[in-house]
Amino acid sequence: MNAHLIEILFGSFFGLLLLGAPITVGLGVAALAAMFYLGDNPIKMVQMAWSSVGSFPLMALPSFILAGALMEAAGLSRRLINVAESLAGPFTGGLSAATIVACLFFGAISGSGPATTAAVGMLMIPAMARAGYGKGYAASVTAASGGLGIIIPPSIPMVIFGISAMGMMPPPEAVETYGQFQSVSISKLFIAGFLPGVVMATCLLTMNYIRCRMRGFYGSAEPLSLSKFVKACYHGFWALLAPLVILGGIYAGLFTPTEAAIVAIFYTLFVGAVIYRELDLGEIVKALEATTWLSGRVLLVLFTATIFGRILVENDIPSVIAGGVLNLTTNIYAIWAMVIMLLLIVGMFMETLAAIMILVPVMLPVAYMVGIDPVHFGIVMICTLSVGFQTPPLGENLFIASGISGVSIERISLRAMPFALASTIAIFVIACFPQIALWLPRIMGY
């Protein structure tokens, strides 16, 4: 029965995707076909969909989206980018390195890869072009580093992974072999994502230095100016304080990620309207419209992906898939290699949130069976899927960078490949050394 159900579920889903159906439709129709095959009442779909959006942690999703939109409208993102740009100086590839650092900063307030690419790219791509960098290179480095937006907390994909993994218990045989696993929480994922984000950024900076040295991008003629940096920090003080308020409150245990998102909204409204005075009613309405559109899009996928995942779990399909993988090999490094390569391919064709919701019920049992910590697995999964933002054919960051720079997606894609390679190397390092992800949560008592 399991074999036929797997064929119906995945056959219907991939068949509809090949026909060009949206992921939401593919997941919903595949789940409905499986329910008819099992003889379940289709009204069960409605009950599952309702329960999927009733969790308190999910409230963080629209709240962080709104906070990111308001921060861009209020001028916080521009001031963060100015701080990063002040560090460029005469160094080889200094301006493109500043772009990577700016994405790191902006990722700490947006939680979204495309939003990070758009906000940073609007300022940095023209600046790099004026400084003599090729437009194609400027667009590629921005598209590549935009993926840091979902790794540096707060991260929308971390919220989705936390919700997807919270209800999944490790198999008894895994507990018997490896002992009790850590529980998954969104706060713990946020803390665990910080150092892996720095590792990913370091690999991108290294690749940027090598390529700029080869291409002769030697930086500006002006020396690094401490006064310029201090001035940028002074003007951007309230913007620099935003990540500290959001993440510091979570790390200190003052509020949950959901409460932190609400705090971020009110903080941005106060700074934008009272201190910077760049946020008016029209900008707030635009931010609300963007939040409604993005949240609705994500929730539609969440509805259908939850039903799809519940059918998988209720019929014990993840354990069948886990058993099939473990029959091939039980070597943890070989399994990591298979997982990372699969996620890199999936990221090329499927948006990150949908991939997380579909694959967590399938892949997390495999991780448990070889002793991989679920928080570590979640961080590696999100880091790997972040590469999909810069790889065609989906590559959302490529489309945004292409629109800003006016360079074709094909040219940007070719120039982004070395950065994708650097990111992949970083991912294998994070996978092979779990302490990169787990050290910070442990010393903070999580």
Query: Can you tell me the mean pLDDT for 1-5?
Result: 71
Q: What pLDDT shows up at residue 361?
A: 86
> What string of DSSP letters covers 99-143?
HHHHHHHHHHHH--HHHHHHHHHHHHHHHHHHTT--HHHHHHHHH
Q: Is the pLDDT of residue 105 over 70?
A: yes
Residue 55 pLDDT: 65
Instruction: Report d(CA 350, CA 394) in Å as an integer.
Output: 7
pLDDT digit string, tens, across residues 128-158 = 888 888 899 999 999 999 999 899 888 889 9
**Torsion angle defined by CA atoms of residues 345, 349, 354 and 358, in that order, rounded to the nearest 10 degrees:** -50
Whether 445 has a pLDDT exceeding 80, the answer reads no
CA distances from 343 to 52, 74, 333 (A): 24, 36, 15
Evaluate if residue 49 carries a pLDDT over 70: no
Q: What is the DSSP annotation of 322-381? A: HHHHHHH---HHHHHHHHHHHHHHHHHHS-HHHHHHHHHHHHHHHHHHTT--HHHHHHHH
Whether residue 1 is predicted with pLDDT greater than 60 in this model: the reply is no
Whether residue 117 is predicted with pLDDT greater than 90 in this model: the reply is no
pLDDT at 427: 97
Residue 326 has a pLDDT of: 77
Q: What is the DSSP string of 243-272?
A: HHHHHHHHHTTSS-HHHHHHHHHHHHHHII
Residue 308 CB burial class (10 angstroms; 0-12, 13-18, ≥19): buried
Summarised one tens digit per residue, pLDDT across range 55-73 is 666 777 788 888 878 887 8
Residue spans of beta strands (DSSP E) within 139-235: none
pLDDT > 70: what percent of the chain?
Answer: 96
Give the Cα separation of 349 and 37 in Å (integer). Answer: 28
**Residue found by looking up tokens 């609007």 in the block:** 122
pTM of the full predicted structure? 0.86
> Is the pLDDT higher at 166 or at 190?
190
